[in-house]
Amino acid sequence: MHKHIEKIKSNESQPKIIKNIFNKNEIKEFLNLYIELPLTVHNKRQNVKKKRWLKEFRSDLENLFRSRLENEIGSFKYDNLVDDSGKEILGLFQESYNPIGLHIDGGFNYDNIIFKQTLIPLTDTGSTVIFKNRFYDYSTNFTINDEELNEKNLKYGQNRRSSKHIGFFGSKPFDETIHKKYLNHEKIENLIGLEVDTIYEWEIGSMLIFDRTNLHCSSSIINEKKIGLTTFTKK
Q: 211 pairs with which residues across the strands?
A: 116
- For Fe ion, the closer of residues 27 and 106 by Cβ is 106
Least distance in Å: CB of 128 to Fe ion?
8
CB of 214 to Fe ion, least distance (A): 9
Residue whose CB is less far from Fe ion, 105 or 197: 105
As a whole number of angstroms, the distance between CA 27 and CA 227 comes to 12
Give kind and range of the element (H or E) at residue 149.
helix 146-149
CB-facing half-sphere around the CA of 175: CA atoms within 13 A: 10
In terms of DSSP H, where are the helices of 156-206?
176-182
- Distance of closest approach, residue 125 Cβ to Fe ion, in angstroms: 18
Q: Which is nearer to Fe ion, 54 or 101 (CB)?
A: 101
Closest residue to Fe ion in the complex (CB): 105
- Smallest gap from residue 59 Cβ to Fe ion (A): 25
Of 11 and 96, CB closest to Fe ion: 96
CA distances from 132 to 38, 43, 87, 160 (A): 35, 29, 34, 21
Q: What element of type H or E holds 210?
A: strand 207-211
> What is the β-pairing status of strands 140-142 and 103-104?
antiparallel
Q: Which residues bind Fe ion (CB under 5 A)?
A: 105
Q: How far is the CB of 85 from Fe ion (least distance, A)?
A: 25
For Fe ion, the closer CB: 29 or 157:
157
